[in-house]
Structure 1
């Protein structure tokens, strides 16, 4: 018997790890491949690539292989597999995982091992997913650049001198490199969309309540949501079908079952002829975006026209969105992390301290004004979507930036005062309550990924997935892999 060379083995593993999750799931159900083979290939990929990218910060390989063996035995005994049967996932390090270290990127929780899975993890594991590790995050998921004092910086696989984005930066970079088949994440100000854009993968911020969260100390808050990431839109829909659906433990959970998003039950392919599309590179002049980002996206408008869409330059009035987001974010930060600031300020990064202290300065009238503006904003956007089916705009105002920076300090010469300023194109959409999908939309001249943000009306996740799928199929940018040999 001829021994398998390291090069051939690597090629075999790469052929597995870059298969769509839907295809791997089908092969696992039909027993054309074993869960052991799938998990082993992904663990080998982590071992090979992760030292250069720093995306997976905790690896539970022995446990994952034991779970893979149990999954294979289950199939051999005639069991009915779940939709994610045998698929390896490294969960975001802000999501509690029973028996697996969960640090939130903070020294306060450096050795924290939860005794429970939170709901998003619970649903994935109930659907058959196998936990292979945890992905890197900025401290308490604060900011769209993934670095912390525990694990260091996650870098961009398309250019390792650049940021992978955040706060789900480890999840997105690991997806781009084939380290896991699907990824979970969360999004307050762009934390699913921004890293998807930076790493040439797909990320969906669902409408609040579409993916219920538990435990959640601020259960009525709509600012932060959890959702799926994947390498293509179909896999994103597959994971959403597992994550979505009602749960009595969440007071804002949407009643519609997640099965409506299952691509095997209802294909996402849709004829876009006649679709009314609004496009805005700057939200009516309110944003500054890097020229390279705008040029990359503008070049793709013809794709939507070729698909039969009517494309117009227009945008909703998002006045007040900045005040709404910053007020409610500061309130959330003080509520969630204020006690840690009192316990030991030195263990918190300055931007988190700044956000907590901003929350402590808020008054009742400040919060009341923010909620009034929030309601007015919702209705202006609701009326806007009576004229248009979707809105297109940049996911991020910049291309992936220098990983040595905490955040971009200027955009084409315009100074950015805080770690939030450069994320407005994402966080202004957050406070509309609308679903927003980041889909690969090309590369700058220097080879950096750029995503387009597809926004739909409140609760119209299916629509943005269908539009994203049509654009993805027409352009195929998401098939371009990082230059990792």
Structure 2
């Protein structure tokens, strides 16, 4: 293993700016590692070796001139092959029919990363349009967690999570409509931020207004809490191209929030959000992390989460999420003059076609009626958070699943429906819009288990503060299986 591939992004950027680390040398270390280990996880769709080398040379030249390339100077970054585009780079949406599609614009998030000095090394794998909780498709196949090549990295930002966890990039981007940042972060033992709606601009086109039902957001992944906070400092802030983007408070950086003392934090804990069956080993691992959080000085109390019953929430989320995917397919059909499901059925997973057809079956009244259910959940989460900096709970009901393993139909002796919404505890917070930081809580039989840290709307800083304390008391940097290879 190269000496730098598992170093924090903040550290290597500081060395690049100081002139003590060549961004070209750093990039070559990462590209060599991608060549050596890339097949193990299958994290990338496209590796941009030539473009990345040109960009790294630009950063090096800026440093030699005495210029500051930015807070991410020379940091190798991977971008999800969905929701992020770079002009002239293949953009497939995770779909074989778009294997040769090339982006004609660079999205705001990518522009901001590059303006901060980052070097884009490639695009990462995702299921078709990010529609499900495992990363697999007919284009490049499944992406594995580095902790076990037989187990999936989770979806839909699985390629990004696997690349970060295996030292193939220092930072990566993802998107999240129902847990697509948090599920792979849990499966791969990395940190992710699902921001509040509008904090990280999402310049969706042709419909800039579609991402609010359910709340779909963009966010970063990294191996340390400080690194995702640094990425948020770069990504957050309003953009004219996003009508939902919000101003950012100018009183504190996200990075500064990671310095808060544990004794200043009040945390509520729910082992199951009062709705989910959770594997005892997962429950115990997250519970141990919560106990360590309390031992570090935080005030931790058990809390209840009220609101609608799980079945009602599943119906509301299913209505809005499947309608969103049906809308995305309609946009692609119109833009490319095709009927994706009819013309390319053999090139798409059956789960994708099923999701789209479900979405086509709802009408506008179904779509808006679901918002009353969301409102009741929002009020309940707000009530739970009252008096606390954050609510913590598991991210998934079990450890990572094998690539072809069916979703569980029984968890801890309780029968469940075998739906993604049974396995993930993440999607309720896409209905409410609360920010969530996911951090590794520990290992179960050598497999990572993630913990969600949920904070009040637009209070990502409190979630980052709690996550940072967890990192201090339960460090995971030595857990990555490729660290010494």
Q: TM-score range by the shorter chain?
A: over 0.9
- 1:409 Cα offset (Å): 4.8
Aligned ranges 1:296-335 → 2 under 5 Å: 296-319=285-308, 320-335=312-327
Residue aligning to 1:64: 52
- 1:100 Cα offset (Å): 1.4
Give the conservation status (yes or no) of the 8 Å contact 2:138–2:349.
no
The answer to whether residue 133 in structure 2 is matched with residue 144 in structure 1 is yes
- 1:408 Cα offset (Å): 4.0
Give the conservation status (yes or no) of the 8 Å contact 2:408–2:423.
no
Residue aligning to 1:348: 348
- 1:65 Cα offset (Å): 1.1
Give the conservation status (yes or no) of the 8 Å contact 1:322–1:424.
no
Give the conservation status (yes or no) of the 8 Å contact 1:145–1:406.
no
Aligned ranges 1:181-192 → 2 under 5 Å: 181-192=170-181
- 1:321 Cα offset (Å): 3.0
Q: CA 1:170–1:424 in structure 2 vs 1: closer, same or farther (change >3 Å)?
A: closer
- 1:412 Cα offset (Å): 4.3
Residue aligning to 2:478: 479
Q: CA 1:57–1:365 in structure 2 vs 1: closer, same or farther (change >3 Å)?
A: closer
Residue aligning to 2:187: 198
Find the aligned partners of 1:101 and 1:220 in 2 and give their Cα distance: 24
Aligned ranges 1:72-87 → 2 under 5 Å: 72-87=60-75
Which stretch of the first structure deviates more once superposed, 85-94 or 223-232?
A: 85-94
Residue aligning to 2:117: 128
Residue aligning to 2:337: none
SS at 1:451 equivalent: strand
- 1:125 Cα offset (Å): 1.1
The answer to whether residue 13 in structure 2 is matched with residue 25 in structure 1 is yes
Residue aligning to 2:39: 51
- 1:205 Cα offset (Å): 0.6
Aligned ranges 1:77-476 → 2 under 5 Å: 77-94=65-82, 95-216=84-205, 217-222=207-212, 223-256=215-248, 260-263=252-255, 266=256, 268-273=258-263, 275-284=265-274, 286-319=275-308, 320-338=312-330, 339=333, 340-341=340-341, 343-405=343-405, 407-412=407-412, 414=414, 416-417=416-417, 419-444=419-444, 446-476=445-475
Q: Give per-residue Cα distances to partners, 1:383-429, cap 9 Å, x unaligned.
A: 32223221111011110111223644543455554552334411012
Find the aligned partners of 1:366 and 1:403 in 2 and give their Cα distance: 34
- 1:324 Cα offset (Å): 2.6
Q: Give per-residue Cα distances to partners, 1:319-367, cap 9 Å, x unaligned.
A: 1432332111022111111443355444332212222122222123312
Find the aligned partners of 2:351 and 2:115 in 1 and give their Cα distance: 37
Give the conservation status (yes or no) of the 8 Å contact 2:190–2:222.
yes
Give the conservation status (yes or no) of the 8 Å contact 1:243–1:258.
no
Which stretch of the first structure deviates more once superposed, 321-330 or 200-209?
A: 321-330
Give the conservation status (yes or no) of the 8 Å contact 1:196–1:439.
yes
Residue aligning to 1:6: none
Give the conservation status (yes or no) of the 8 Å contact 1:244–1:258.
no
- 1:87 Cα offset (Å): 1.0
Q: CA 1:225–1:31 in structure 2 vs 1: closer, same or farther (change >3 Å)?
A: same
Cα RMSD (Å)? 1.9
Unaligned runs of at least 5 residues, structure 2: 334-339
Q: Give per-residue Cα distances to partners, 1:238-279, cap 9 Å, x unaligned.
A: 00111110112211111115894352xx35211222633221
SS at 2:427 equivalent: helix
Q: CA 1:112–1:241 in structure 2 vs 1: closer, same or farther (change >3 Å)?
A: same
Find the aligned partners of 1:406 and 1:148 in 2 and give their Cα distance: 16
Find the aligned partners of 1:145 and 1:259 in 2 and give their Cα distance: 39
Find the aligned partners of 1:367 and 1:146 in 2 and give their Cα distance: 27
Unaligned runs of at least 5 residues, structure 1: 1-9
SS at 1:153 equivalent: coil
Find the aligned partners of 1:132 and 1:184 in 2 and give their Cα distance: 12
Give the conservation status (yes or no) of the 8 Å contact 2:127–2:156.
yes
Give the conservation status (yes or no) of the 8 Å contact 1:334–1:359.
yes
- 1:218 Cα offset (Å): 4.6
Q: CA 1:262–1:379 in structure 2 vs 1: closer, same or farther (change >3 Å)?
A: closer
